[in-house]
Amino acid sequence: MKLNVEYLKYEIKPRYEESFPLDWEKFFGKRGELFVEIGFGNGEFLVEMARRYPEKNFVGFELSITSMVKIQKKIHDFNLENVRVVMEDGRFALREFFEDESVETVVTNFPCPWPKKAHEERRITSGDFLDTLSVVLKPEGIFELVTDERWYAEEVHEKLTESGYFDVESILENPERPVETRYERKWKSQGKKIFLIRAYKLKKGKVERLLKGGMNLPHVLFQGDVKDEDVSSLEGKVFKKGDKVFVVKNTFKGKNSFLLKVISTDKDFQQQYFLILLKKKNGWLLKLDSVSNPYRTPAVKWSVRKLAEVLSSKEPAVSDHTVHHADD
């Protein structure tokens, strides 16, 4: 595929935004009901829906770079201005990027059912996803999930019903849909059945958002005599407080500076990024590297504060795979 930079103008990069939830009207340049697809694959469903309903604004989330390029070529070829795509985990994005009761419809087509018990936390309806749906959907807003696995359809139907947030229709078998996806055509040609679960929002729940306080770069200036071994001893150390966890994976020494590679987790959302430790006239400055540019979640902010505390106080770092509990 020949790459044209014009194809790439439909991607939104929230990591460079200053505040959350996002102002979607700004990205589209017009008001319109929001339709969200989580995991748009090759993009045929989202693009065709956008063609049929030009008055609405369509947002798609996907983690595949290839899919991101393919769908933007389709959007460009059809000259659509009512589609925007984001390369991000859909569960995280739905919770963090949308205002309360601002979305008309959320759809996910053939998500991986993660059939093994050990992987059930990866299923789209796990964690606080249903709470998120109840918060961001408008009253009587719609959630649809399509799958070719009957057991998965039944599980999703049960979870939606038990949540108490939704009026859930009976599972539809081989439903008529406005747009059939490639997977749908494939499964039907093989004689497999397709199952659709549709739920209407009845009431609003509660959900805790991670992105609060904007995207300012967290930093700490502290006093102390930091030695090479103080920094290198942090490698492999795990720090935990509540839902916040981070580990220092690697450290690198420069001239009057160090670079620390960190992996942090907030609940089920993981990020990798770098912290820079710089020698200053009035002490040491530990700050987030702007190039890696993670979302400023509680775990990211805490990793800066906690590591500055450890280095300034010479607090002993914990051993590998040991959880360190802290009050700050």
pLDDT, tens digit, 9 for 90 and up, residues 88-142 = 999 999 999 999 999 999 999 999 998 888 888 888 998 899 999 999 999 999 9
| Centroid of chain to Cα 14 | 10
**What tokens were used for 41?**
């694959």
What residues pair up with 265 in beta bridges, in sequence order? 245, 270
Residues 261 and 314 in one domain: yes
By CB atoms closer than 10 A (0-12, 13-18, 19+), residue 99 is middle
Q: Which domain holds residue 124?
A: 5-201
The tokens 């020698």 sit on which residue?
A: 279
Contact predicate 14/86, CB 8 Å: yes
Residues 74 and 136 in one domain: yes
> 166-174: long-range contacts at Cβ-Cβ below 8 A with a sequence spacing of 24 or more?
166/133, 166/134, 166/199, 166/200, 166/201, 166/202, 167/199, 167/200, 167/202, 168/197, 168/198, 168/199, 168/200, 169/197, 169/198, 169/199, 169/200, 171/195, 171/196, 171/197, 172/196, 172/197, 172/198
Q: What is the pLDDT of residue 325?
A: 36
pLDDT in tens, 159-185: 999 999 999 999 999 998 888 887 788
Number of neighbouring beta carbons within 10 Å of residue 85: 23
**Which domain-ending residue is among 175, 201, 227?**
201
The tokens 């989202």 sit on which residue?
A: 46
Q: Is residue 191 part of a domain?
A: yes
> How do beta strands 195-201 and 172-173 pair?
antiparallel
Residues 178 and 232 in one domain: no
Total-model pTM: 0.88
Q: Is the dihedral of CA 77, 81, 82, 85 positive or negative?
A: positive
Residue-wise over 250-284: b if at least 16 C-beta within 10 A, else e?
A: ebeeeeeebebbbbbbbbebebebbbbbeeeeeeb
Q: Is residue 209 part of a domain?
A: no
CA atoms of 237 and 320, how far apart (whole Å) = 5
Q: What is the pLDDT of residue 298?
A: 94
Residues in the chain with pLDDT values less than 70: 1-5, 314-328
Q: Is residue 207 part of a domain?
A: no
Residues 15 and 78 in one domain: yes
Q: How many domains does the chain have?
A: 2
Residues 170 and 25 in one domain: yes
Q: State the CATH number of the domain containing residue 110.
A: 3.40.50.150
**Which domain-ending residue is among 135, 170, 201?**
201
Q: Is residue 292 part of a domain?
A: yes
Q: What is the pLDDT of residue 254?
A: 92
Residues 45 and 177 in one domain: yes
Contact predicate 69/139, CB 8 Å: no
Local structure of 245: helix, strand or coil: strand
